[in-house]
């Protein structure tokens, strides 16, 4: 197949921006920083359109985090491969403690090209909604328990005993 190429794209996501790095499919190919984009869906679609212009097959990856899986769903919806990895499973060199979005994106692209990343299961929207509901309910019950304990301690310190429930 002439002209067939693969491009591995590492994304370092945050609330406001996504740092993008690109690694060519050849093992000796350089992994380079592509730039920072807004985390909005329109900016992501624009970035994907720019990368696909070369006719290469795109392989995306990013670390799971508080931003959720909407980015994964959008990239899959655009017809490209996307892998979400657990931050704890990303191999790190000893002594490599400097963390910048640019370095992380380049490292993700390089590791994805080498096949050294372990993907995690990406829940569909219904599973993610149930997870969010369970977490919110647990947080609310923990807050209620903590407030009750604080109130009981306050009353006890002031010589009052509440006998009710």
Residues of the chain with CATH 3.30.420.10: 6-114
The tokens for 32 are 């380079």
Distance CA(26)–CA(56), nearest Å, equals 12
pLDDT digits (tens, 9 = 90+) for 92-111: 877 777 788 899 999 999 99
What does pLDDT average to over the chain? 90
pLDDT digits (tens, 9 = 90+) for 133-157: 999 999 999 999 999 999 999 999 9
3-state DSSP call for residue 82?
strand
Q: Encode 93-109: b = buried (16+ Cβ within 10 Å), e = exposed.
A: eeeeeeeebeebbbbbb
What's the Cα-to-Cα distance from 30 to each of 7, 8, 23, 140, rounded to whole Å?
Answer: 11, 11, 6, 49
Distance CA(8)–CA(22), nearest Å, equals 6
Distance CA(90)–CA(111), nearest Å, equals 8
Domain covering 6-114, topology: Nucleotidyltransferase; domain 5 (3.30.420)
pLDDT digits (tens, 9 = 90+) for 68-86: 899 999 999 999 999 999 9
Distance CA(85)–CA(1), nearest Å, equals 31
Which H or E run contains 38?
Answer: strand 31-38
Q: Is the pTM of this model over 0.75?
A: yes
């Amino acid at each position: 197949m002439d002209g067939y190429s693969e491009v591995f794209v590492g994304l370092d996501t945050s609330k406001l921006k996504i740092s993008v790095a690109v690694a060519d499919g050849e093992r000796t190919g350089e992994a380079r920083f592509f730039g920072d984009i807004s985390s909005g869906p329109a900016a992501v679609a624009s970035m994907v359109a720019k990368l696909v212009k070369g006719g290469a097959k795109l392989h995306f990856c990013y670390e799971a985090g508080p931003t959720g899986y909407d980015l994964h769903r959008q990239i899959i919806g655009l017809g490209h491969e996307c892998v979400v990895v657990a931050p704890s499973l990303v191999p790190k060199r000893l002594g490599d403690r400097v963390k910048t979005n640019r370095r992380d994106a380049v490292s993700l692209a390089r590791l994805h090209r080498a096949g050294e990343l372990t993907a995690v299961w990406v829940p569909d929207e219904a599973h993610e909604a149930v997870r969010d509901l369970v977490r919110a309910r647990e947080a609310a019950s923990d807050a209620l328990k903590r407030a009750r304990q604080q109130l009981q301690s306050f009353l006890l310190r002031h010589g009052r005993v509440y006998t009710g429930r």
